[in-house]
Structure 1
Amino acid sequence: MTETARTGQLSTDADDLALVATDIAQTAAAHVRRRRPELFGSATVYESSDGVGGAAAVSTKSTPTDPVTLADTETEEMIASLLAERRPGEEMLGEEGGGTVDIPRGVRWVVDPIDGTVNFMYGIPAYAVSVAAQIDGVSVAGAVVDVAREVTYAAARGSGAYRHSGDARDRLRVSGIDDVSLALVATGFAYDRRRREQQAGIIAALLPRIRDIRRVGAAALDLCMVASGAVDAHIEHGLSPWDWAAGGLIAAEAGAVVTLPPAQSRSSDGHPTIALSPGVAQEMTRLFDEVGALRDLP
Protein backbone atom coordinates (compact mmCIF):
# COMPACT_ATOMS: atom_id res chain seq x y z
CA MET A 1 0.00 0.00 0.00
CA THR A 2 1.32 3.43 -0.94
CA GLU A 3 1.16 5.92 1.92
CA THR A 4 2.60 9.34 2.62
CA ALA A 5 5.39 9.10 5.15
CA ARG A 6 4.07 11.87 7.36
CA THR A 7 0.30 11.42 7.54
CA GLY A 8 -0.21 7.75 6.71
CA GLN A 9 -2.90 8.74 4.19
CA LEU A 10 -3.12 7.16 0.77
CA SER A 11 -1.09 9.01 -1.82
CA THR A 12 -2.96 10.81 -4.60
CA ASP A 13 0.20 11.44 -6.60
CA ALA A 14 -0.47 10.49 -10.23
CA ASP A 15 2.74 8.49 -10.57
CA ASP A 16 1.91 6.46 -7.45
CA LEU A 17 -1.61 5.82 -8.73
CA ALA A 18 -0.21 4.72 -12.10
CA LEU A 19 1.96 2.11 -10.38
CA VAL A 20 -1.10 0.70 -8.62
CA ALA A 21 -3.14 0.71 -11.83
CA THR A 22 -0.35 -1.05 -13.72
CA ASP A 23 0.27 -3.71 -11.08
CA ILE A 24 -3.42 -4.55 -10.74
CA ALA A 25 -4.11 -4.50 -14.48
CA GLN A 26 -1.19 -6.86 -15.13
CA THR A 27 -2.31 -9.24 -12.37
CA ALA A 28 -5.84 -9.23 -13.77
CA ALA A 29 -4.57 -9.74 -17.33
CA ALA A 30 -2.65 -12.84 -16.25
CA HIS A 31 -5.91 -14.24 -14.87
CA VAL A 32 -7.77 -13.48 -18.12
CA ARG A 33 -4.98 -15.07 -20.17
CA ARG A 34 -5.16 -18.24 -18.08
CA ARG A 35 -8.96 -18.44 -18.07
CA ARG A 36 -9.50 -18.20 -21.84
CA PRO A 37 -8.42 -21.78 -22.64
CA GLU A 38 -10.07 -23.05 -19.45
CA LEU A 39 -13.44 -21.59 -20.48
CA PHE A 40 -13.35 -22.14 -24.22
CA GLY A 41 -10.41 -24.38 -25.06
CA SER A 42 -9.69 -24.14 -28.77
CA ALA A 43 -13.40 -23.89 -29.63
CA THR A 44 -15.46 -20.80 -30.30
CA VAL A 45 -18.18 -19.92 -27.83
CA TYR A 46 -20.96 -21.53 -29.85
CA GLU A 47 -19.27 -24.92 -30.27
CA SER A 48 -19.68 -26.10 -26.68
CA SER A 49 -22.60 -26.20 -24.27
CA ASP A 50 -21.58 -29.05 -22.02
CA GLY A 51 -21.75 -27.03 -18.82
CA VAL A 52 -17.98 -26.75 -18.56
CA GLY A 53 -17.05 -24.13 -21.12
CA GLY A 54 -18.18 -22.53 -24.33
CA ALA A 55 -21.78 -21.34 -24.30
CA ALA A 56 -22.19 -22.20 -20.61
CA ALA A 57 -19.58 -19.56 -19.78
CA VAL A 58 -21.49 -16.71 -21.47
CA SER A 59 -24.55 -14.59 -20.71
CA THR A 60 -25.82 -11.37 -22.30
CA LYS A 61 -26.48 -7.80 -21.18
CA SER A 62 -28.10 -5.01 -23.20
CA THR A 63 -28.84 -7.10 -26.33
CA PRO A 64 -28.30 -10.72 -27.46
CA THR A 65 -25.08 -9.55 -29.16
CA ASP A 66 -23.72 -7.87 -25.98
CA PRO A 67 -22.02 -10.71 -24.06
CA VAL A 68 -20.44 -11.11 -20.66
CA THR A 69 -18.35 -14.13 -19.69
CA LEU A 70 -17.44 -15.75 -16.39
CA ALA A 71 -13.97 -14.31 -16.89
CA ASP A 72 -15.40 -10.76 -17.02
CA THR A 73 -17.16 -11.08 -13.68
CA GLU A 74 -14.34 -13.04 -12.03
CA THR A 75 -11.74 -10.52 -13.15
CA GLU A 76 -13.71 -7.52 -11.97
CA GLU A 77 -14.16 -9.16 -8.58
CA MET A 78 -10.41 -9.80 -8.44
CA ILE A 79 -9.64 -6.16 -9.27
CA ALA A 80 -12.10 -4.96 -6.64
CA SER A 81 -10.43 -7.18 -4.04
CA LEU A 82 -6.93 -5.98 -4.97
CA LEU A 83 -8.03 -2.34 -4.83
CA ALA A 84 -9.66 -2.89 -1.45
CA GLU A 85 -6.30 -4.15 -0.14
CA ARG A 86 -4.15 -1.41 -1.63
CA ARG A 87 -6.59 1.53 -1.73
CA PRO A 88 -9.13 0.86 1.06
CA GLY A 89 -12.17 3.10 1.19
CA GLU A 90 -11.98 4.33 -2.40
CA GLU A 91 -14.86 3.84 -4.81
CA MET A 92 -14.77 1.69 -7.93
CA LEU A 93 -16.85 1.95 -11.09
CA GLY A 94 -16.78 -1.28 -13.09
CA GLU A 95 -18.42 -2.39 -16.30
CA GLU A 96 -19.94 -5.48 -14.69
CA GLY A 97 -20.51 -4.41 -11.09
CA GLY A 98 -21.50 -0.85 -11.89
CA GLY A 99 -21.22 2.02 -9.45
CA THR A 100 -22.70 5.42 -8.82
CA VAL A 101 -23.23 7.86 -11.69
CA ASP A 102 -22.32 10.70 -9.35
CA ILE A 103 -18.68 11.80 -9.27
CA PRO A 104 -17.25 11.20 -5.78
CA ARG A 105 -14.75 13.46 -4.07
CA GLY A 106 -11.22 12.15 -4.26
CA VAL A 107 -10.06 9.02 -6.06
CA ARG A 108 -12.36 6.69 -7.95
CA TRP A 109 -11.14 3.63 -9.85
CA VAL A 110 -12.73 2.96 -13.24
CA VAL A 111 -12.35 -0.61 -14.45
CA ASP A 112 -13.08 -2.69 -17.54
CA PRO A 113 -12.14 -6.29 -16.71
CA ILE A 114 -12.19 -7.37 -20.39
CA ASP A 115 -12.54 -4.75 -23.08
CA GLY A 116 -13.22 -6.73 -26.25
CA THR A 117 -15.27 -9.56 -24.78
CA VAL A 118 -16.46 -10.75 -28.20
CA ASN A 119 -12.84 -11.08 -29.34
CA PHE A 120 -12.05 -12.93 -26.11
CA MET A 121 -14.91 -15.38 -26.75
CA TYR A 122 -13.89 -16.10 -30.32
CA GLY A 123 -10.18 -16.35 -29.62
CA ILE A 124 -9.33 -13.20 -31.60
CA PRO A 125 -6.20 -11.81 -29.88
CA ALA A 126 -7.42 -8.25 -29.29
CA TYR A 127 -8.82 -7.77 -25.78
CA ALA A 128 -7.59 -5.82 -22.80
CA VAL A 129 -7.82 -5.12 -19.10
CA SER A 130 -8.25 -1.41 -18.32
CA VAL A 131 -7.74 0.21 -14.90
CA ALA A 132 -7.81 3.98 -14.33
CA ALA A 133 -7.72 6.31 -11.35
CA GLN A 134 -9.82 9.45 -11.56
CA ILE A 135 -9.80 12.40 -9.18
CA ASP A 136 -13.00 14.47 -9.23
CA GLY A 137 -13.96 12.74 -12.48
CA VAL A 138 -10.69 13.39 -14.33
CA SER A 139 -8.34 10.53 -15.19
CA VAL A 140 -4.91 11.04 -13.63
CA ALA A 141 -3.46 7.54 -14.01
CA GLY A 142 -4.25 4.46 -16.01
CA ALA A 143 -3.05 1.20 -17.49
CA VAL A 144 -4.31 -0.90 -20.38
CA VAL A 145 -2.92 -4.40 -20.81
CA ASP A 146 -3.15 -6.04 -24.23
CA VAL A 147 -3.74 -9.48 -22.78
CA ALA A 148 -2.81 -11.72 -25.72
CA ARG A 149 0.32 -9.77 -26.67
CA GLU A 150 1.38 -9.22 -23.01
CA VAL A 151 1.96 -5.52 -23.64
CA THR A 152 1.10 -2.84 -21.09
CA TYR A 153 0.30 0.79 -21.90
CA ALA A 154 0.40 3.14 -18.93
CA ALA A 155 0.31 6.85 -18.14
CA ALA A 156 0.29 9.32 -15.28
CA ARG A 157 -1.05 12.81 -15.86
CA GLY A 158 1.82 15.15 -16.68
CA SER A 159 4.40 12.34 -16.85
CA GLY A 160 3.86 10.97 -20.36
CA ALA A 161 2.71 7.58 -21.59
CA TYR A 162 4.76 4.40 -21.93
CA ARG A 163 4.58 0.93 -23.42
CA HIS A 164 5.99 -1.97 -21.37
CA SER A 165 6.85 -5.23 -23.16
CA GLY A 166 9.09 -7.69 -21.36
CA ASP A 167 11.99 -5.67 -19.96
CA ALA A 168 11.53 -2.86 -22.53
CA ARG A 169 9.91 0.45 -21.61
CA ASP A 170 9.32 2.86 -24.47
CA ARG A 171 7.88 6.36 -24.49
CA LEU A 172 4.70 6.57 -26.56
CA ARG A 173 4.27 9.25 -29.20
CA VAL A 174 1.48 9.77 -31.69
CA SER A 175 2.12 9.62 -35.43
CA GLY A 176 3.49 12.63 -37.30
CA ILE A 177 0.94 12.42 -40.11
CA ASP A 178 -0.26 15.74 -41.55
CA ASP A 179 -2.49 14.60 -44.44
CA VAL A 180 -6.03 13.47 -43.64
CA SER A 181 -6.29 11.55 -46.90
CA LEU A 182 -3.55 9.24 -45.57
CA ALA A 183 -5.03 8.84 -42.08
CA LEU A 184 -5.79 5.39 -40.71
CA VAL A 185 -8.85 5.73 -38.44
CA ALA A 186 -9.94 3.28 -35.74
CA THR A 187 -13.58 2.99 -34.77
CA GLY A 188 -16.13 0.70 -33.17
CA PHE A 189 -19.84 0.03 -33.36
CA ALA A 190 -22.63 -0.10 -30.81
CA TYR A 191 -24.78 -3.10 -29.95
CA ASP A 192 -27.98 -1.10 -30.54
CA ARG A 193 -29.29 -1.55 -34.08
CA ARG A 194 -30.41 2.06 -34.58
CA ARG A 195 -27.07 3.50 -33.52
CA ARG A 196 -25.22 1.00 -35.69
CA GLU A 197 -27.16 2.26 -38.71
CA GLN A 198 -26.13 5.84 -37.93
CA GLN A 199 -22.50 4.80 -37.39
CA ALA A 200 -22.51 2.94 -40.70
CA GLY A 201 -23.68 6.09 -42.47
CA ILE A 202 -20.86 8.11 -40.94
CA ILE A 203 -18.25 5.55 -41.96
CA ALA A 204 -19.64 5.38 -45.50
CA ALA A 205 -19.21 9.15 -45.82
CA LEU A 206 -15.79 9.16 -44.15
CA LEU A 207 -14.13 6.21 -45.88
CA PRO A 208 -13.58 7.76 -49.36
CA ARG A 209 -11.71 10.68 -47.77
CA ILE A 210 -9.14 8.84 -45.62
CA ARG A 211 -6.67 5.99 -46.04
CA ASP A 212 -8.81 3.33 -44.39
CA ILE A 213 -10.81 2.21 -41.34
CA ARG A 214 -9.75 -0.27 -38.66
CA ARG A 215 -12.32 -1.95 -36.38
CA VAL A 216 -10.34 -3.86 -33.75
CA GLY A 217 -13.18 -4.38 -31.30
CA ALA A 218 -11.67 -2.92 -28.11
CA ALA A 219 -11.85 0.85 -27.60
CA ALA A 220 -9.11 0.88 -24.97
CA LEU A 221 -6.73 -0.71 -27.47
CA ASP A 222 -7.86 1.72 -30.19
CA LEU A 223 -6.89 4.65 -27.96
CA CYS A 224 -3.54 3.04 -27.16
CA MET A 225 -2.95 2.54 -30.88
CA VAL A 226 -3.41 6.27 -31.37
CA ALA A 227 -0.89 6.80 -28.56
CA SER A 228 1.66 4.52 -30.20
CA GLY A 229 1.16 5.88 -33.73
CA ALA A 230 -0.26 2.57 -35.01
CA VAL A 231 -3.35 4.49 -36.13
CA ASP A 232 -3.78 8.22 -36.64
CA ALA A 233 -7.25 8.76 -35.18
CA HIS A 234 -10.04 7.11 -33.23
CA ILE A 235 -13.73 7.95 -33.06
CA GLU A 236 -16.55 6.00 -31.46
CA HIS A 237 -19.97 6.95 -30.15
CA GLY A 238 -21.54 5.67 -26.96
CA LEU A 239 -18.56 4.59 -24.90
CA SER A 240 -18.90 4.39 -21.13
CA PRO A 241 -16.21 5.69 -18.72
CA TRP A 242 -14.59 2.26 -18.29
CA ASP A 243 -13.98 2.18 -22.06
CA TRP A 244 -12.01 5.45 -22.21
CA ALA A 245 -10.83 6.32 -18.67
CA ALA A 246 -7.37 4.76 -19.04
CA GLY A 247 -6.97 4.76 -22.83
CA GLY A 248 -8.01 8.38 -23.21
CA LEU A 249 -5.38 9.51 -20.73
CA ILE A 250 -2.71 7.36 -22.40
CA ALA A 251 -3.52 8.88 -25.80
CA ALA A 252 -3.47 12.42 -24.40
CA GLU A 253 -0.16 11.89 -22.61
CA ALA A 254 1.31 10.60 -25.89
CA GLY A 255 0.36 13.87 -27.57
CA ALA A 256 -3.08 13.17 -29.05
CA VAL A 257 -5.85 15.74 -29.16
CA VAL A 258 -8.53 13.97 -27.12
CA THR A 259 -12.24 14.69 -26.67
CA LEU A 260 -13.97 12.61 -24.00
CA PRO A 261 -17.58 12.27 -22.84
CA PRO A 262 -18.53 13.67 -19.43
CA ALA A 263 -17.28 11.50 -16.58
CA GLN A 264 -20.84 10.77 -15.44
CA SER A 265 -22.05 9.73 -18.92
CA ARG A 266 -22.96 6.23 -20.07
CA SER A 267 -23.17 4.44 -23.40
CA SER A 268 -26.84 5.34 -23.80
CA ASP A 269 -25.95 9.05 -24.07
CA GLY A 270 -24.19 8.45 -27.39
CA HIS A 271 -21.38 10.98 -26.92
CA PRO A 272 -18.38 10.68 -29.26
CA THR A 273 -14.94 9.75 -27.95
CA ILE A 274 -12.24 11.18 -30.22
CA ALA A 275 -8.44 10.96 -30.26
CA LEU A 276 -6.48 12.61 -33.07
CA SER A 277 -2.85 12.90 -34.03
CA PRO A 278 -2.18 16.66 -33.80
CA GLY A 279 -0.97 17.05 -37.37
CA VAL A 280 -4.44 16.16 -38.68
CA ALA A 281 -6.56 17.24 -35.70
CA GLN A 282 -7.96 20.45 -37.17
CA GLU A 283 -8.70 19.06 -40.62
CA MET A 284 -10.04 15.77 -39.25
CA THR A 285 -12.37 17.62 -36.87
CA ARG A 286 -13.78 19.58 -39.82
CA LEU A 287 -14.25 16.33 -41.73
CA PHE A 288 -15.96 14.66 -38.77
CA ASP A 289 -18.29 17.66 -38.56
CA GLU A 290 -19.14 17.39 -42.25
CA VAL A 291 -20.09 13.72 -41.99
CA GLY A 292 -22.08 14.18 -38.78
CA ALA A 293 -19.64 12.44 -36.48
CA LEU A 294 -19.41 15.21 -33.87
CA ARG A 295 -23.03 14.95 -32.79
CA ASP A 296 -24.33 12.56 -30.15
CA LEU A 297 -25.91 9.39 -31.51
CA PRO A 298 -28.89 8.33 -29.34
Structure 2
Amino acid sequence: MGTRPNRMTDAPAALLPVALQAAEIASDLVRTRVPGLLTAKGDRDMASEVDHAVERAVRDYLKERTPDIAILGEEEGITGDTAGDLMWAIDPVDGTANFVRNIPLCGFSLGLIERGRPVVGVIDLPFLGTRYHAAQHTGAYLGDRRIQASMTTDLKDAIVAIGDYAVGERAEAKNRQRIALTERLAANVQRVRMLGSAAIDLAWVAEGKLDASITLSNKPWDTAAGVIIAREAGAKITDQYGTNHTFSSNATIAANHSLESVLLSLVASMYK
Protein backbone atom coordinates (compact mmCIF):
# COMPACT_ATOMS: atom_id res chain seq x y z
CA MET A 1 0.00 0.00 0.00
CA GLY A 2 1.52 3.33 -1.06
CA THR A 3 1.80 6.39 1.15
CA ARG A 4 0.02 9.60 0.36
CA PRO A 5 2.53 12.16 -0.96
CA ASN A 6 3.10 15.28 1.07
CA ARG A 7 4.67 18.13 -0.84
CA MET A 8 6.06 19.67 2.37
CA THR A 9 7.90 16.58 3.57
CA ASP A 10 8.89 15.39 0.10
CA ALA A 11 10.50 18.73 -0.69
CA PRO A 12 11.41 20.65 2.47
CA ALA A 13 13.29 23.16 0.34
CA ALA A 14 9.87 24.36 -0.81
CA LEU A 15 9.46 25.94 2.63
CA LEU A 16 12.84 27.68 2.60
CA PRO A 17 11.38 30.92 1.13
CA VAL A 18 8.92 31.03 4.05
CA ALA A 19 11.79 30.69 6.54
CA LEU A 20 13.82 33.36 4.76
CA GLN A 21 10.92 35.82 4.87
CA ALA A 22 10.45 35.08 8.58
CA ALA A 23 14.12 35.96 9.08
CA GLU A 24 13.57 39.26 7.27
CA ILE A 25 10.73 40.12 9.63
CA ALA A 26 12.81 39.17 12.67
CA SER A 27 15.95 40.99 11.54
CA ASP A 28 14.08 44.25 10.98
CA LEU A 29 12.66 44.12 14.51
CA VAL A 30 15.98 43.26 16.18
CA ARG A 31 17.85 46.03 14.34
CA THR A 32 15.28 48.75 14.89
CA ARG A 33 14.12 48.20 18.47
CA VAL A 34 15.91 48.61 21.78
CA PRO A 35 15.79 45.60 24.09
CA GLY A 36 13.28 47.26 26.44
CA LEU A 37 12.26 45.76 29.76
CA LEU A 38 13.81 42.45 30.76
CA THR A 39 11.75 39.56 32.11
CA ALA A 40 13.46 37.13 34.49
CA LYS A 41 13.36 33.46 33.45
CA GLY A 42 14.81 31.89 36.57
CA ASP A 43 18.37 32.08 37.87
CA ARG A 44 20.44 34.52 35.75
CA ASP A 45 18.29 34.05 32.64
CA MET A 46 16.08 36.60 30.95
CA ALA A 47 14.09 37.63 27.91
CA SER A 48 13.82 41.12 26.47
CA GLU A 49 10.77 42.83 25.02
CA VAL A 50 12.32 42.26 21.60
CA ASP A 51 12.52 38.48 22.20
CA HIS A 52 8.76 38.46 22.73
CA ALA A 53 7.98 40.87 19.88
CA VAL A 54 10.03 38.89 17.37
CA GLU A 55 8.54 35.56 18.39
CA ARG A 56 4.99 36.91 18.17
CA ALA A 57 5.60 38.44 14.73
CA VAL A 58 7.21 35.29 13.35
CA ARG A 59 4.53 33.05 14.87
CA ASP A 60 1.81 35.16 13.24
CA TYR A 61 3.58 34.96 9.88
CA LEU A 62 4.15 31.19 10.08
CA LYS A 63 0.55 30.53 11.20
CA GLU A 64 -0.64 32.42 8.13
CA ARG A 65 1.72 30.75 5.65
CA THR A 66 1.89 27.22 7.12
CA PRO A 67 -1.18 26.79 9.34
CA ASP A 68 -0.83 23.00 9.56
CA ILE A 69 2.69 23.04 11.03
CA ALA A 70 3.24 23.17 14.80
CA ILE A 71 5.42 25.96 16.20
CA LEU A 72 7.86 25.66 19.10
CA GLY A 73 9.22 28.96 20.40
CA GLU A 74 11.66 29.65 23.21
CA GLU A 75 9.40 32.22 24.86
CA GLU A 76 5.87 30.89 24.26
CA GLY A 77 6.25 27.12 24.03
CA ILE A 78 4.54 24.87 21.50
CA THR A 79 1.29 25.48 19.61
CA GLY A 80 -0.50 23.81 16.74
CA ASP A 81 -0.76 20.19 15.61
CA THR A 82 1.90 18.40 17.64
CA ALA A 83 0.88 15.05 16.14
CA GLY A 84 2.14 16.04 12.70
CA ASP A 85 5.55 15.24 11.22
CA LEU A 86 6.68 18.87 10.94
CA MET A 87 7.44 21.56 13.50
CA TRP A 88 9.01 25.00 13.31
CA ALA A 89 11.50 25.87 16.09
CA ILE A 90 12.07 29.59 16.75
CA ASP A 91 14.71 31.35 18.80
CA PRO A 92 13.78 35.02 18.40
CA VAL A 93 17.09 36.31 19.80
CA ASP A 94 19.75 33.70 20.39
CA GLY A 95 22.28 35.39 22.63
CA THR A 96 19.94 37.67 24.57
CA ALA A 97 22.63 38.44 27.18
CA ASN A 98 24.83 39.73 24.35
CA PHE A 99 21.94 41.63 22.74
CA VAL A 100 21.02 43.60 25.86
CA ARG A 101 24.68 44.67 26.28
CA ASN A 102 25.04 45.76 22.63
CA ILE A 103 27.41 42.89 21.90
CA PRO A 104 26.68 42.06 18.24
CA LEU A 105 27.01 38.28 18.66
CA CYS A 106 23.32 37.45 18.62
CA GLY A 107 20.81 36.39 16.04
CA PHE A 108 17.51 34.90 14.92
CA SER A 109 17.26 31.15 14.42
CA LEU A 110 14.44 29.27 12.68
CA GLY A 111 14.51 25.55 11.93
CA LEU A 112 11.96 23.22 10.38
CA ILE A 113 12.08 19.82 12.07
CA GLU A 114 10.72 16.70 10.40
CA ARG A 115 10.28 13.67 12.66
CA GLY A 116 13.06 14.76 15.01
CA ARG A 117 15.60 15.98 12.46
CA PRO A 118 15.90 19.50 11.01
CA VAL A 119 15.38 19.80 7.26
CA VAL A 120 15.37 23.59 6.76
CA GLY A 121 17.25 26.25 8.68
CA VAL A 122 17.84 30.00 8.59
CA ILE A 123 20.11 31.96 10.93
CA ASP A 124 20.19 35.75 10.64
CA LEU A 125 22.83 37.81 12.44
CA PRO A 126 21.35 41.32 12.19
CA PHE A 127 24.31 43.28 13.57
CA LEU A 128 26.85 41.40 11.44
CA GLY A 129 24.77 41.65 8.26
CA THR A 130 24.90 37.93 7.53
CA ARG A 131 22.18 35.37 6.85
CA TYR A 132 22.81 31.64 6.59
CA HIS A 133 20.38 29.10 5.19
CA ALA A 134 20.13 25.47 4.19
CA ALA A 135 17.59 22.87 3.16
CA GLN A 136 18.15 19.15 3.21
CA HIS A 137 20.17 17.86 0.23
CA THR A 138 20.66 21.34 -1.29
CA GLY A 139 23.78 22.65 0.48
CA ALA A 140 24.42 25.47 2.95
CA TYR A 141 24.69 29.13 2.02
CA LEU A 142 25.78 32.48 3.37
CA GLY A 143 23.62 34.77 1.30
CA ASP A 144 24.11 33.48 -2.26
CA ARG A 145 27.50 31.89 -1.59
CA ARG A 146 27.74 28.19 -0.88
CA ILE A 147 29.77 27.45 2.24
CA GLN A 148 31.58 24.42 3.61
CA ALA A 149 33.12 23.26 6.85
CA SER A 150 36.84 23.71 7.46
CA MET A 151 39.57 21.34 6.28
CA THR A 152 41.63 21.49 9.50
CA THR A 153 43.03 18.03 10.23
CA ASP A 154 45.01 18.44 13.46
CA LEU A 155 43.36 19.24 16.78
CA LYS A 156 46.27 21.48 17.79
CA ASP A 157 45.36 23.77 14.87
CA ALA A 158 41.66 23.88 15.68
CA ILE A 159 39.54 26.72 17.00
CA VAL A 160 36.67 25.22 19.00
CA ALA A 161 33.64 27.02 20.43
CA ILE A 162 31.94 25.85 23.59
CA GLY A 163 28.45 26.60 24.85
CA ASP A 164 27.76 28.98 27.71
CA TYR A 165 28.26 27.81 31.25
CA ALA A 166 24.99 26.74 32.83
CA VAL A 167 22.64 28.88 34.87
CA GLY A 168 19.51 27.83 36.70
CA GLU A 169 18.71 24.41 38.13
CA ARG A 170 21.71 22.13 38.78
CA ALA A 171 24.05 24.78 37.35
CA GLU A 172 26.86 23.94 39.76
CA ALA A 173 26.96 20.25 38.77
CA LYS A 174 26.59 21.04 35.07
CA ASN A 175 29.39 23.58 35.24
CA ARG A 176 31.82 21.15 36.81
CA GLN A 177 31.44 19.16 33.61
CA ARG A 178 31.73 22.24 31.39
CA ILE A 179 34.84 23.45 33.20
CA ALA A 180 36.38 20.00 32.83
CA LEU A 181 35.65 20.19 29.09
CA THR A 182 37.23 23.64 28.90
CA GLU A 183 40.33 22.32 30.64
CA ARG A 184 40.66 19.37 28.25
CA LEU A 185 40.20 21.59 25.21
CA ALA A 186 42.64 24.22 26.49
CA ALA A 187 45.32 21.52 26.68
CA ASN A 188 44.71 20.23 23.15
CA VAL A 189 43.34 22.82 20.72
CA GLN A 190 44.74 26.06 19.35
CA ARG A 191 42.04 28.26 20.90
CA VAL A 192 38.76 27.93 22.79
CA ARG A 193 35.93 30.41 22.20
CA MET A 194 32.69 31.08 24.08
CA LEU A 195 30.56 33.30 21.85
CA GLY A 196 27.28 33.11 23.76
CA SER A 197 25.11 31.92 20.87
CA ALA A 198 24.67 28.31 19.77
CA ALA A 199 23.30 29.54 16.45
CA ILE A 200 26.50 31.46 15.75
CA ASP A 201 28.64 28.52 16.86
CA LEU A 202 26.94 26.21 14.37
CA ALA A 203 26.77 28.76 11.53
CA TRP A 204 30.48 29.47 11.90
CA VAL A 205 31.31 25.77 11.89
CA ALA A 206 29.36 25.62 8.62
CA GLU A 207 31.31 28.56 7.22
CA GLY A 208 34.67 27.22 8.39
CA LYS A 209 35.37 30.10 10.75
CA LEU A 210 35.32 27.53 13.56
CA ASP A 211 36.54 23.97 13.24
CA ALA A 212 34.10 22.60 15.81
CA SER A 213 31.59 23.55 18.48
CA ILE A 214 30.61 21.65 21.61
CA THR A 215 27.41 22.44 23.48
CA LEU A 216 26.57 20.14 26.38
CA SER A 217 22.85 20.73 25.95
CA ASN A 218 20.29 20.74 23.17
CA LYS A 219 17.42 23.19 23.07
CA PRO A 220 15.80 22.76 19.64
CA TRP A 221 15.12 26.47 19.18
CA ASP A 222 18.86 27.10 19.68
CA THR A 223 20.17 24.26 17.55
CA ALA A 224 17.71 23.10 14.86
CA ALA A 225 18.62 25.68 12.21
CA GLY A 226 22.34 25.49 12.92
CA VAL A 227 22.37 21.69 12.80
CA ILE A 228 20.95 21.50 9.26
CA ILE A 229 23.15 24.38 8.07
CA ALA A 230 26.32 22.80 9.48
CA ARG A 231 25.32 19.35 8.24
CA GLU A 232 24.68 20.62 4.72
CA ALA A 233 28.08 22.35 4.83
CA GLY A 234 29.76 18.99 5.41
CA ALA A 235 30.14 18.97 9.19
CA LYS A 236 29.21 15.95 11.29
CA ILE A 237 26.69 16.64 14.07
CA THR A 238 26.33 14.17 16.93
CA ASP A 239 25.51 13.91 20.60
CA GLN A 240 28.19 13.33 23.24
CA TYR A 241 28.32 9.61 22.41
CA GLY A 242 28.81 10.03 18.66
CA THR A 243 25.21 9.16 17.82
CA ASN A 244 23.55 11.18 15.07
CA HIS A 245 22.03 14.34 16.49
CA THR A 246 18.23 14.50 16.85
CA PHE A 247 15.59 16.57 18.62
CA SER A 248 16.03 14.48 21.78
CA SER A 249 19.85 14.51 21.95
CA ASN A 250 21.38 15.80 25.19
CA ALA A 251 24.40 17.49 23.60
CA THR A 252 25.23 19.13 20.29
CA ILE A 253 28.70 18.49 18.89
CA ALA A 254 29.59 19.78 15.42
CA ALA A 255 32.94 19.23 13.78
CA ASN A 256 34.51 18.74 10.40
CA HIS A 257 35.00 15.08 9.48
CA SER A 258 38.73 15.09 10.19
CA LEU A 259 38.32 16.24 13.80
CA GLU A 260 35.09 14.49 14.73
CA SER A 261 36.50 11.27 16.17
CA VAL A 262 39.26 12.87 18.25
CA LEU A 263 36.87 15.46 19.66
CA LEU A 264 34.31 12.81 20.53
CA SER A 265 37.00 10.81 22.31
CA LEU A 266 37.90 13.89 24.33
CA VAL A 267 34.26 14.51 25.28
CA ALA A 268 33.55 10.83 25.98
CA SER A 269 36.38 10.74 28.51
CA MET A 270 34.31 13.05 30.72
CA TYR A 271 31.46 10.53 30.93
CA LYS A 272 33.53 7.54 32.13
The corresponding residue for 2:75 is 96
The corresponding residue for 2:42 is 62
Q: Percent identity?
A: 33
2:145 corresponds to 1:170: yes
AA of the residue aligned to 1:77: R
The corresponding residue for 2:242 is none
- Number of corresponding residues: 257
Q: Distance in 1 between matches of 2:13 and 2:265?
A: 35
Q: Distance in 2 between matches of 1:258 and 1:141?
A: 15
2:1 corresponds to 1:26: no
Q: Distance in 2 between matches of 1:76 and 1:113?
A: 5
* 1:88 Cα offset (Å): 1.3
Q: Distance in 2 between matches of 1:213 and 1:127?
A: 19
Q: Distance in 1 between matches of 2:83 and 2:150?
A: 35
AA of the residue aligned to 1:94: G
- Segment of structure 1 superposing worse, 253-262 or 121-130: 253-262
Instruction: Give CA-to-partner distance per residue, 1:176-211, whole Å, 9 cap, x none.
Output: 000011111001122143112321122112211110
How do residues 118-157 of structure 1 correspond to structure 2 at under 5 angstroms? 118-157=97-136
Cα RMSD over matched residues? Answer: 2.0
The corresponding residue for 2:231 is 252
Instruction: Give CA-to-partner distance per residue, 1:80-106, whole Å, 9 cap, x none.
Output: 100011111321000000117x96322
Q: Distance in 1 between matches of 2:83 and 2:185?
A: 38
AA of the residue aligned to 2:39: S
Q: Using structure 1 for the length normalisation, give the TM-score.
A: 0.81
Which of 1 and 2 has greater Rg?
1
Contact 1:93/1:111 (<8 A) preserved: yes
Q: Against the structure 1 CA distance between its residues 171 and 196, is the aligned structure 2 distance closer, same or farther, given a 3 Å change threshold?
A: same
Q: Distance in 1 between matches of 2:187 and 2:83?
A: 44
The corresponding residue for 2:92 is 113
Give unpaired runs (5+ residues) of structure 1. 1-8, 40-52, 266-270
2:163 corresponds to 1:188: yes
Q: Against the structure 1 CA distance between its residues 284 and 249, is the aligned structure 2 distance closer, same or farther, given a 3 Å change threshold?
A: same
Q: Using structure 2 for the length normalisation, give the TM-score.
A: 0.89
* 1:285 Cα offset (Å): 1.6
AA of the residue aligned to 2:167: Y
* 1:156 Cα offset (Å): 0.3
The corresponding residue for 2:247 is 263
SS in 2 for 1:278: coil
